[in-house]
A = this chain, B = another copy of it.
Amino acid sequence: MVTQSEENYLKTIYHLGKQGVEAVSTNAIAEQMETKASSVTDMVKKLAEKDLANYVKYQGVSLTKVGRLTAASVIRKHRLWEVFLVNKLKFSWDEVHEVAEQLEHIKSEQLIDKLDEFLDFPKVDPHGDAIPDKEGNFAKISKKLLSECASGEEGIFVGVKDSSASFLQYLDKQHISLGDKIKILHREEFDQSVEIMVNSSLLNISQKTATNIYLQQK
């Protein structure tokens, strides 16, 4: 049995280390999970003991095949629940993370299969992140950061890199929503801010904002 805490560690290692393939440092995990390095060392030993992780003292952790699959399954559940909360229960996209953080640990294959069907087999969550299938495979969506687009280029807003409530609320306030067509009009050399056209209105966004918006082109 994989505990809730183990699942949270697996998810973090998965995210930090390119799907858990690259070795991740103890400190990186501790920082991400807001816990102490010594706690991470303990847990990482346990994951290795259970053959969910590869761990060599002082050399970081990566995930085994089983570990990766387990992590992907948790991520799948997290994102499906987020879709449920937004599409069915009318949560807004900045309110769902905490609740999904709990729901992702509910243990029932049947539940997730039926939820997936009920939601009509969504491929992305409310933040534009891909939902892995049961085998842990992601549909590769080609997307590019707005900050990397040249002026004149345009694309559809399909995802956010930062999905903190504050950023999502900022986007709401600016009336920038997933699915909108965005055109890059001008990039200011001085501060890297960008002038864009969204919903036929002009907007100026900071460099920080531009590095957190994904566009899909053509």
Report if A139 contacts B (CB, 8 A).
Answer: no
Contact indicator A91/B110 (Cβ below 8 Å)? yes
Counting chain B CB atoms within 10 Å of each CB, the highest count among A95, A102, A110, A111 belongs to A111
Complex Cα distance A114/B87, Å?
A: 12
Mark interface residues in A121-134 (1 if CB within 8 Å of B CB, else 0): 00000000000000
Q: Measured between C-beta atoms, what is the minimum distance from A173 to chain B in Å?
A: 21
Which B residues are in CB contact (< 8 Å) with A85?
Answer: 111
Complex Cα distance A59/B106, Å?
A: 37
Contact indicator B118/A108 (Cβ below 8 Å)? no
Report if A203 contacts B (CB, 8 A).
Answer: no
Q: Measured between C-beta atoms, what is the minimum distance from A50 to chain B in Å?
A: 22
Q: Which of B89, B114, B115 contacts A111 (CB 8 A)?
A: B89
Which B residues are in CB contact (< 8 Å) with A99?
Answer: 106, 108, 110-111
Complex Cα distance A160/B91, Å?
A: 35
Mark interface residues in A97-110 (1 if CB within 8 Å of B CB, else 0): 01100110011101
Which B residues are in CB contact (< 8 Å) with A108?
Answer: 98-99, 102
Report if A218 contacts B (CB, 8 A).
Answer: no
Report if A88 contacts B (CB, 8 A).
Answer: yes
Contact indicator A107/B102 (Cβ below 8 Å)? yes
Which B residues are in CB contact (< 8 Å) with A110?
Answer: 91, 95, 99
Report if A90 contacts B (CB, 8 A).
Answer: yes
Query: With A95-B110, A110-B95 as given contacts, are A118 and B102 in contact (CB-CB < 8 Å)?
Result: no
Complex Cα distance A78/B32, Å?
A: 33
Q: Supply 19 A–B pairs (Cβ within 8 Å), ascending by A.
A: A85-B111, A88-B118, A89-B111, A89-B114, A89-B115, A89-B118, A90-B114, A91-B110, A91-B114, A95-B110, A98-B108, A99-B106, A99-B108, A99-B110, A99-B111, A102-B106, A102-B107, A102-B108, A103-B106
Interface residues of A (CB under 8 A from B): 85, 88-91, 95, 98-99, 102-103, 106-108, 110-111, 114-115, 118
15 further A-B contacts with Cβ under 8 Å, apart from A89-B114, A90-B114, A99-B111, are A85-B111, A88-B118, A89-B111, A89-B118, A91-B110, A91-B114, A95-B110, A98-B108, A99-B106, A99-B108, A99-B110, A102-B106, A102-B107, A102-B108, A103-B106
